[in-house]
Protein backbone atom coordinates (compact mmCIF):
# COMPACT_ATOMS: atom_id res chain seq x y z
CA UNK A 1 0.00 0.00 0.00
CA UNK A 2 2.79 2.43 0.90
CA UNK A 3 5.97 0.43 0.39
CA UNK A 4 7.80 3.40 -1.14
CA UNK A 5 7.34 5.29 2.14
CA UNK A 6 9.72 2.87 3.89
CA UNK A 7 13.45 2.15 3.85
CA UNK A 8 12.99 -1.58 3.27
CA UNK A 9 15.76 -3.82 4.62
CA UNK A 10 17.50 -6.30 2.35
CA UNK A 11 15.64 -9.57 1.88
CA UNK A 12 12.10 -10.33 3.08
CA UNK A 13 10.89 -8.78 6.30
CA UNK A 14 8.01 -10.53 8.14
CA UNK A 15 8.71 -9.31 11.67
CA UNK A 16 6.74 -6.06 11.70
CA UNK A 17 4.71 -7.31 14.64
CA UNK A 18 7.92 -7.02 16.71
CA UNK A 19 9.56 -3.98 15.11
CA UNK A 20 8.28 -2.14 12.07
CA UNK A 21 10.66 -0.98 9.34
CA UNK A 22 11.82 2.62 9.18
CA UNK A 23 9.66 5.17 7.37
CA UNK A 24 11.61 7.75 5.40
CA UNK A 25 9.52 10.41 7.14
CA UNK A 26 10.67 9.22 10.57
CA UNK A 27 14.31 9.62 9.56
CA UNK A 28 13.59 13.08 8.13
CA UNK A 29 11.73 14.25 11.26
CA UNK A 30 14.50 13.08 13.57
CA UNK A 31 17.08 14.87 11.44
CA UNK A 32 14.91 17.97 11.49
CA UNK A 33 14.70 17.94 15.27
CA UNK A 34 18.44 17.37 15.53
CA UNK A 35 19.02 20.40 13.30
CA UNK A 36 16.61 22.41 15.45
CA UNK A 37 18.48 21.38 18.61
CA UNK A 38 21.79 22.38 16.98
CA UNK A 39 20.46 25.79 15.92
CA UNK A 40 18.30 26.71 18.90
CA UNK A 41 19.44 24.67 21.91
CA UNK A 42 17.10 25.43 24.83
CA UNK A 43 15.04 27.83 22.72
CA UNK A 44 13.72 24.75 20.92
CA UNK A 45 11.45 24.12 23.88
CA UNK A 46 9.17 26.87 22.59
CA UNK A 47 8.24 24.34 19.90
CA UNK A 48 8.83 21.07 21.78
CA UNK A 49 6.89 21.86 24.94
CA UNK A 50 3.52 20.72 23.53
CA UNK A 51 4.84 18.15 21.05
CA UNK A 52 3.40 15.07 22.78
CA UNK A 53 -0.04 16.67 22.95
CA UNK A 54 0.24 17.81 19.32
CA UNK A 55 0.51 14.17 18.21
CA UNK A 56 -2.64 13.13 20.06
CA UNK A 57 -5.15 13.73 17.22
CA UNK A 58 -3.20 11.45 14.87
CA UNK A 59 -2.87 8.76 17.53
CA UNK A 60 -6.51 9.09 18.55
CA UNK A 61 -7.57 8.23 14.99
CA UNK A 62 -5.65 4.95 15.20
CA UNK A 63 -7.40 3.84 18.41
CA UNK A 64 -10.84 5.37 17.95
CA UNK A 65 -10.58 7.92 20.75
CA UNK A 66 -11.03 11.62 21.40
CA UNK A 67 -7.74 13.55 21.09
CA UNK A 68 -7.87 14.47 24.77
CA UNK A 69 -8.12 10.81 25.74
CA UNK A 70 -4.69 9.78 24.40
CA UNK A 71 -1.07 10.78 24.90
CA UNK A 72 2.29 9.52 23.63
CA UNK A 73 4.41 8.77 26.66
CA UNK A 74 6.41 6.16 28.55
CA UNK A 75 6.24 2.50 27.60
CA UNK A 76 3.53 -0.14 27.85
CA UNK A 77 4.65 -1.25 31.30
CA UNK A 78 5.21 2.27 32.65
CA UNK A 79 1.84 3.40 31.31
CA UNK A 80 0.11 0.34 32.71
CA UNK A 81 1.56 1.08 36.15
CA UNK A 82 0.46 4.72 35.85
CA UNK A 83 -3.10 3.75 34.95
CA UNK A 84 -3.38 0.96 37.52
CA UNK A 85 -2.18 3.33 40.23
CA UNK A 86 -4.99 5.64 39.18
CA UNK A 87 -7.85 3.23 38.50
CA UNK A 88 -7.40 0.14 40.66
CA UNK A 89 -9.42 0.86 43.79
CA UNK A 90 -10.14 -2.40 45.63
CA UNK A 91 -13.01 -2.21 48.11
CA UNK A 92 -14.83 -4.81 50.16
CA UNK A 93 -14.87 -8.11 48.32
CA UNK A 94 -14.23 -6.41 44.95
CA UNK A 95 -10.45 -6.83 44.79
CA UNK A 96 -9.77 -9.23 41.92
CA UNK A 97 -7.91 -8.25 38.75
CA UNK A 98 -8.68 -10.41 35.71
CA UNK A 99 -6.25 -11.12 32.88
CA UNK A 100 -5.48 -14.19 30.77
CA UNK A 101 -2.87 -16.91 30.94
CA UNK A 102 -1.81 -15.94 27.40
CA UNK A 103 -1.15 -12.25 28.09
CA UNK A 104 2.28 -10.79 27.44
CA UNK A 105 4.18 -11.65 30.66
CA UNK A 106 5.22 -8.11 31.55
CA UNK A 107 1.57 -7.06 31.72
CA UNK A 108 1.04 -9.82 34.25
CA UNK A 109 4.01 -8.65 36.32
CA UNK A 110 2.41 -5.22 36.70
CA UNK A 111 -1.07 -6.60 37.37
CA UNK A 112 0.24 -9.03 40.00
CA UNK A 113 2.08 -6.24 41.80
CA UNK A 114 -1.03 -4.06 42.05
CA UNK A 115 -3.29 -6.95 43.03
CA UNK A 116 -0.95 -7.82 45.90
CA UNK A 117 -0.69 -4.19 46.93
CA UNK A 118 -4.47 -3.94 47.10
CA UNK A 119 -4.91 -7.13 49.07
CA UNK A 120 -6.48 -8.80 46.05
CA UNK A 121 -5.66 -11.56 43.62
CA UNK A 122 -4.85 -11.87 39.94
CA UNK A 123 -7.29 -14.23 38.22
CA UNK A 124 -5.95 -15.66 34.95
CA UNK A 125 -8.39 -17.02 32.39
CA UNK A 126 -6.87 -20.32 31.20
CA UNK A 127 -6.50 -21.46 27.60
CA UNK A 128 -8.12 -24.73 26.57
CA UNK A 129 -5.55 -25.46 23.85
CA UNK A 130 -2.52 -23.47 24.98
CA UNK A 131 -2.82 -21.07 22.04
CA UNK A 132 -6.21 -19.35 22.08
CA UNK A 133 -8.93 -18.23 24.49
CA UNK A 134 -12.58 -19.25 24.63
CA UNK A 135 -15.09 -16.41 24.68
CA UNK A 136 -17.25 -18.10 27.32
CA UNK A 137 -14.30 -18.52 29.67
CA UNK A 138 -13.48 -14.81 29.41
CA UNK A 139 -17.04 -13.79 30.26
CA UNK A 140 -17.27 -16.31 33.09
CA UNK A 141 -14.22 -14.78 34.79
CA UNK A 142 -15.99 -11.41 35.16
CA UNK A 143 -17.61 -12.17 38.49
CA UNK A 144 -18.91 -9.63 41.06
CA UNK A 145 -15.59 -9.69 42.93
CA UNK A 146 -13.69 -8.20 39.95
CA UNK A 147 -12.48 -4.61 40.28
CA UNK A 148 -10.57 -4.38 37.00
CA UNK A 149 -9.79 -6.49 33.93
CA UNK A 150 -7.06 -6.13 31.31
CA UNK A 151 -7.20 -8.04 28.02
CA UNK A 152 -5.03 -8.00 24.88
CA UNK A 153 -6.78 -6.86 21.72
CA UNK A 154 -4.69 -9.48 19.87
CA UNK A 155 -2.79 -12.33 21.53
CA UNK A 156 0.93 -11.99 20.88
CA UNK A 157 1.59 -15.71 20.34
CA UNK A 158 -1.33 -16.97 18.27
CA UNK A 159 -2.64 -13.76 16.72
CA UNK A 160 -6.17 -14.34 18.05
CA UNK A 161 -8.25 -11.16 18.13
CA UNK A 162 -10.60 -10.66 21.10
CA UNK A 163 -14.04 -9.02 21.15
CA UNK A 164 -13.32 -5.54 22.54
CA UNK A 165 -16.91 -4.32 22.53
CA UNK A 166 -18.41 -7.49 23.98
CA UNK A 167 -15.88 -7.93 26.78
CA UNK A 168 -15.97 -4.25 27.70
CA UNK A 169 -19.76 -4.38 28.01
CA UNK A 170 -19.59 -7.61 30.03
CA UNK A 171 -17.05 -6.15 32.42
CA UNK A 172 -19.10 -3.02 32.95
CA UNK A 173 -22.24 -5.08 33.54
CA UNK A 174 -20.32 -6.83 36.34
CA UNK A 175 -19.24 -3.48 37.80
CA UNK A 176 -15.60 -3.80 36.73
CA UNK A 177 -13.31 -1.46 34.82
CA UNK A 178 -11.99 -2.87 31.54
CA UNK A 179 -8.70 -2.00 29.86
CA UNK A 180 -6.85 -3.22 26.77
CA UNK A 181 -3.29 -3.83 25.61
CA UNK A 182 -3.35 -2.88 21.93
CA UNK A 183 0.33 -3.50 21.18
CA UNK A 184 -0.41 -6.10 18.48
CA UNK A 185 -3.28 -4.28 16.81
CA UNK A 186 -2.65 -0.53 16.65
CA UNK A 187 -1.68 0.41 13.10
CA UNK A 188 -2.98 -2.88 11.69
CA UNK A 189 -6.72 -2.41 12.12
CA UNK A 190 -9.33 0.14 13.24
CA UNK A 191 -10.25 0.53 16.91
CA UNK A 192 -13.20 2.16 18.66
CA UNK A 193 -12.15 2.45 22.29
CA UNK A 194 -14.23 5.56 23.01
CA UNK A 195 -17.39 4.31 21.31
CA UNK A 196 -17.39 0.99 23.15
CA UNK A 197 -16.61 2.72 26.44
CA UNK A 198 -13.31 1.01 27.22
CA UNK A 199 -11.92 2.56 30.38
CA UNK A 200 -8.24 2.56 29.47
CA UNK A 201 -5.68 1.12 27.06
CA UNK A 202 -1.93 0.95 26.56
CA UNK A 203 0.19 0.15 23.51
CA UNK A 204 3.56 0.63 21.86
CA UNK A 205 4.27 2.49 18.62
CA UNK A 206 7.21 0.42 17.38
CA UNK A 207 5.32 -2.47 15.77
CA UNK A 208 2.71 -1.70 13.10
CA UNK A 209 3.02 2.08 13.64
CA UNK A 210 6.76 1.87 12.76
CA UNK A 211 8.05 4.57 15.12
CA UNK A 212 11.37 2.87 15.86
CA UNK A 213 13.01 0.80 18.61
CA UNK A 214 12.07 2.06 22.05
CA UNK A 215 9.55 4.51 20.61
CA UNK A 216 7.32 6.32 23.12
CA UNK A 217 4.33 4.24 24.12
CA UNK A 218 0.74 5.39 24.20
CA UNK A 219 -2.09 5.43 26.68
CA UNK A 220 -5.82 6.03 26.43
CA UNK A 221 -8.10 6.99 29.29
CA UNK A 222 -11.81 7.47 28.65
CA UNK A 223 -13.00 11.01 29.29
CA UNK A 224 -15.22 9.78 32.14
CA UNK A 225 -12.08 9.54 34.28
CA UNK A 226 -10.70 13.01 33.56
CA UNK A 227 -13.19 15.37 35.17
CA UNK A 228 -16.63 15.06 36.66
CA UNK A 229 -19.29 15.29 33.97
CA UNK A 230 -22.97 14.28 34.08
CA UNK A 231 -23.98 11.16 32.20
CA UNK A 232 -20.51 9.66 31.89
CA UNK A 233 -20.60 7.31 34.86
CA UNK A 234 -21.95 3.80 34.66
CA UNK A 235 -21.67 3.25 38.43
CA UNK A 236 -21.97 5.72 41.28
CA UNK A 237 -18.66 4.60 42.78
CA UNK A 238 -16.83 5.65 39.59
CA UNK A 239 -15.52 9.18 39.57
CA UNK A 240 -12.64 11.21 38.19
CA UNK A 241 -9.28 10.04 39.42
CA UNK A 242 -6.21 12.11 40.05
CA UNK A 243 -3.07 10.56 38.54
CA UNK A 244 -1.67 7.93 40.87
CA UNK A 245 1.92 8.64 39.78
CA UNK A 246 2.12 12.42 39.27
CA UNK A 247 5.28 14.01 37.92
CA UNK A 248 6.60 16.96 36.02
CA UNK A 249 4.94 16.27 32.68
CA UNK A 250 1.45 15.69 34.11
CA UNK A 251 1.27 19.15 35.70
CA UNK A 252 -0.88 21.80 34.02
CA UNK A 253 1.35 23.24 31.31
CA UNK A 254 -0.13 26.69 31.84
CA UNK A 255 1.74 27.17 35.08
CA UNK A 256 4.29 24.33 35.09
CA UNK A 257 7.22 26.73 35.28
CA UNK A 258 5.87 28.57 38.30
CA UNK A 259 7.40 25.65 40.22
CA UNK A 260 4.63 25.71 42.81
CA UNK A 261 4.71 22.91 45.39
CA UNK A 262 0.97 22.38 44.82
CA UNK A 263 0.14 19.91 42.05
CA UNK A 264 -2.28 21.17 39.42
CA UNK A 265 -3.59 18.44 37.14
CA UNK A 266 -3.13 18.86 33.39
CA UNK A 267 -6.08 18.55 31.05
CA UNK A 268 -7.07 15.17 29.61
CA UNK A 269 -4.74 12.23 29.11
CA UNK A 270 -1.72 14.51 29.33
CA UNK A 271 -2.24 14.39 33.10
CA UNK A 272 -1.09 10.77 33.10
CA UNK A 273 2.41 11.43 31.77
CA UNK A 274 5.24 11.50 34.24
CA UNK A 275 8.70 12.62 33.11
CA UNK A 276 9.93 14.94 30.37
CA UNK A 277 9.41 13.31 26.96
CA UNK A 278 12.26 12.45 24.59
CA UNK A 279 11.89 14.93 21.75
CA UNK A 280 14.02 12.88 19.36
CA UNK A 281 11.88 9.80 20.02
CA UNK A 282 8.71 11.84 19.51
CA UNK A 283 10.18 13.10 16.24
CA UNK A 284 10.40 9.56 14.88
CA UNK A 285 6.80 9.00 15.97
CA UNK A 286 5.82 12.23 14.18
CA UNK A 287 7.20 10.86 10.96
CA UNK A 288 5.73 7.40 11.43
CA UNK A 289 2.25 8.79 12.06
CA UNK A 290 2.46 10.90 8.91
CA UNK A 291 2.54 7.68 6.85
CA UNK A 292 -1.05 7.06 7.96
CA UNK A 293 -2.22 10.46 6.69
CA UNK A 294 -4.89 9.90 4.06
CA UNK A 295 -5.10 6.17 4.76
CA UNK A 296 -8.41 4.65 5.74
CA UNK A 297 -7.81 2.15 8.53
CA UNK A 298 -10.51 -0.11 7.11
CA UNK A 299 -8.43 -0.34 3.93
CA UNK A 300 -5.33 -1.21 5.97
CA UNK A 301 -7.31 -3.95 7.69
CA UNK A 302 -8.68 -5.29 4.39
CA UNK A 303 -5.18 -5.49 2.97
CA UNK A 304 -3.87 -7.16 6.14
CA UNK A 305 -6.60 -9.79 6.03
CA UNK A 306 -5.93 -10.48 2.34
CA UNK A 307 -2.22 -11.06 3.07
CA UNK A 308 -2.87 -13.33 6.05
CA UNK A 309 -5.55 -15.20 4.05
CA UNK A 310 -2.94 -15.75 1.36
CA UNK A 311 -0.36 -16.96 3.87
CA UNK A 312 -2.78 -19.35 5.59
CA UNK A 313 -3.95 -20.81 2.27
CA UNK A 314 -0.36 -21.40 1.13
CA UNK A 315 0.58 -22.95 4.48
CA UNK A 316 -2.42 -25.27 4.33
CA UNK A 317 -1.45 -26.36 0.83
CA UNK A 318 2.32 -26.62 1.08
CA UNK A 319 3.21 -26.96 4.77
CA UNK A 320 1.00 -29.72 6.21
CA UNK A 321 3.61 -30.44 8.91
CA UNK A 322 3.03 -26.94 10.33
CA UNK A 323 -0.21 -26.19 12.16
CA UNK A 324 -1.80 -22.78 11.72
CA UNK A 325 -2.86 -21.83 15.27
CA UNK A 326 -4.14 -18.38 14.31
CA UNK A 327 -7.95 -18.37 14.10
CA UNK A 328 -9.38 -18.49 10.57
CA UNK A 329 -12.43 -16.16 10.96
CA UNK A 330 -11.55 -12.57 10.11
CA UNK A 331 -13.25 -11.23 13.24
CA UNK A 332 -10.97 -13.40 15.39
CA UNK A 333 -7.66 -12.76 13.62
CA UNK A 334 -5.05 -10.07 14.14
CA UNK A 335 -2.30 -9.06 11.72
CA UNK A 336 0.10 -12.01 12.00
CA UNK A 337 -0.03 -15.76 11.45
CA UNK A 338 1.46 -18.27 13.88
CA UNK A 339 2.66 -21.68 12.73
CA UNK A 340 3.20 -24.48 15.23
CA UNK A 341 6.09 -26.89 14.63
CA UNK A 342 8.52 -28.66 17.00
CA UNK A 343 11.48 -27.30 14.97
CA UNK A 344 10.20 -23.72 14.86
CA UNK A 345 13.38 -22.29 16.43
CA UNK A 346 15.73 -23.86 13.91
CA UNK A 347 13.38 -22.98 11.05
CA UNK A 348 13.40 -19.36 12.17
CA UNK A 349 17.20 -19.30 12.34
CA UNK A 350 17.50 -20.95 8.92
CA UNK A 351 15.13 -18.42 7.37
CA UNK A 352 17.28 -15.60 8.74
CA UNK A 353 20.32 -17.17 7.13
CA UNK A 354 18.41 -17.11 3.83
CA UNK A 355 17.59 -13.41 4.13
CA UNK A 356 14.12 -13.71 5.68
CA UNK A 357 13.29 -12.13 9.04
CA UNK A 358 10.49 -14.02 10.85
CA UNK A 359 9.85 -14.24 14.58
CA UNK A 360 10.11 -17.18 16.98
CA UNK A 361 8.28 -17.80 20.25
CA UNK A 362 9.20 -20.50 22.72
CA UNK A 363 8.85 -23.38 22.49
CA UNK A 364 7.42 -24.08 19.03
CA UNK A 365 5.81 -21.05 17.34
CA UNK A 366 7.00 -19.36 14.15
CA UNK A 367 5.26 -16.00 13.73
CA UNK A 368 4.99 -14.39 10.30
CA UNK A 369 3.63 -10.85 9.94
CA UNK A 370 2.85 -9.69 6.40
CA UNK A 371 2.32 -5.98 7.11
CA UNK A 372 -0.33 -4.25 5.05
CA UNK A 373 1.73 -1.12 4.41
CA UNK A 374 4.75 -2.77 2.83
CA UNK A 375 4.62 -6.59 2.39
CA UNK A 376 3.84 -8.08 -1.03
CA UNK A 377 2.00 -11.29 -1.95
CA UNK A 378 5.15 -12.45 -3.73
CA UNK A 379 7.18 -12.18 -0.54
CA UNK A 380 4.61 -14.25 1.33
CA UNK A 381 4.73 -16.96 -1.34
CA UNK A 382 8.54 -16.98 -1.36
CA UNK A 383 8.73 -17.52 2.40
CA UNK A 384 6.35 -20.48 2.18
CA UNK A 385 8.49 -21.88 -0.65
CA UNK A 386 11.64 -21.52 1.45
CA UNK A 387 10.00 -23.23 4.41
CA UNK A 388 9.01 -26.12 2.16
CA UNK A 389 12.58 -26.39 0.91
CA UNK A 390 13.98 -26.37 4.44
CA UNK A 391 11.58 -29.03 5.65
CA UNK A 392 12.36 -31.23 2.66
CA UNK A 393 16.14 -30.84 2.91
CA UNK A 394 16.55 -30.75 6.68
CA UNK A 395 19.02 -27.90 6.26
CA UNK A 396 17.58 -26.09 9.29
CA UNK A 397 18.57 -29.00 11.53
CA UNK A 398 22.19 -28.86 10.41
CA UNK A 399 22.71 -25.11 10.71
CA UNK A 400 22.19 -24.63 14.43
CA UNK A 401 22.15 -20.85 14.06
CA UNK A 402 20.90 -18.81 17.02
CA UNK A 403 17.71 -16.81 16.75
CA UNK A 404 17.48 -13.17 17.79
CA UNK A 405 15.70 -11.58 20.79
CA UNK A 406 11.94 -11.50 21.03
CA UNK A 407 9.78 -8.49 21.86
Dist. CA 108–CA 122, nearest whole Å: 8
- DSSP conformation class of 21: P
**Residue of 107, 145, 181, 199 marked catalytic:** 181
CB of 133 closer than 8 Å to CB of 127? yes
pLDDT tops 70 at residue 234: no
Question: Is 193 one of the catalytic residues?
Answer: no
pTM of this prediction exceeds 0.85: yes
Q: What is the pLDDT of residues 13-47, one digit of tens each?
A: 999 999 999 999 999 999 999 999 999 999 999 99
CB of 114 closer than 8 Å to CB of 97? yes
Enumerate helices (H) and strands (E) in the chain, giving the number of each.
14, 15
Q: What is the pLDDT of residues 360-370, one digit of tens each?
A: 999 999 999 99
CB of 148 closer than 8 Å to CB of 177? yes
Q: What is the pLDDT of residues 106-119, one digit of tens each?
A: 999 999 999 999 99
**Residue of 104, 208, 292, 360 marked catalytic:** 104
Fold of 24-290: 3.40.640
**Residue of 13, 200, 206, 292 marked catalytic:** 206
CATH 3.40.640.10 domain residues, the chain? 24-290
- What's the pLDDT score for residue 272? 87
- What's the pLDDT score for residue 270? 84
Question: Is 2 one of the catalytic residues?
Answer: no
**Residue of 61, 241, 303, 367 marked catalytic:** 367
CATH 3.90.1150.10 domain residues, the chain? 3-22+295-399
- What's the pLDDT score for residue 274? 84
From 3.90.1150.10, 2.40.40.20, 2.170.190.11, 3.40.50.1360, which CATH number describes the 3-22+295-399 domain?
A: 3.90.1150.10
pLDDT tops 90 at residue 249: no
**Residue of 207, 303, 333, 345 marked catalytic:** 207
Q: What is the pLDDT of residues 127-176, one digit of tens each?
A: 999 999 999 999 999 999 999 999 999 999 999 999 999 999 999 999 99
- What's the pLDDT score for residue 102? 98
CB of 2 closer than 8 Å to CB of 20? no
Question: Is 264 one of the catalytic residues?
Answer: no
Question: Is 292 one of the catalytic residues?
Answer: no
- pLDDT band at 406; cut points 50, 70, 90: very low
Q: What is the pLDDT of residues 270-320, one digit of tens each?
A: 888 888 899 999 999 999 999 999 999 999 999 999 999 999 999 999 999
Give the sign of the dihedral formed by CA 137, CA 142, CA 147, CA 148.
positive
Amino acid sequence: MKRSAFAMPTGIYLDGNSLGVMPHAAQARVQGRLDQWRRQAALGWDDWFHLAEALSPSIARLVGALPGEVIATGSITANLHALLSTLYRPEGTRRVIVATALDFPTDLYALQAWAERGGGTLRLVPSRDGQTLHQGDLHAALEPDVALALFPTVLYRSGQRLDVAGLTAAGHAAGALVGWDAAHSIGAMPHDFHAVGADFAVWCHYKYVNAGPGAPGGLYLHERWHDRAPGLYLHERWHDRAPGLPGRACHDKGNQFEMTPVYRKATGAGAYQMGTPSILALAALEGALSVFDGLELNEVRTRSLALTDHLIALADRHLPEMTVVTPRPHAERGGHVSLLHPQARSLSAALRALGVVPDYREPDILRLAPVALYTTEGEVAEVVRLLRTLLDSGQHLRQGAADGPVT
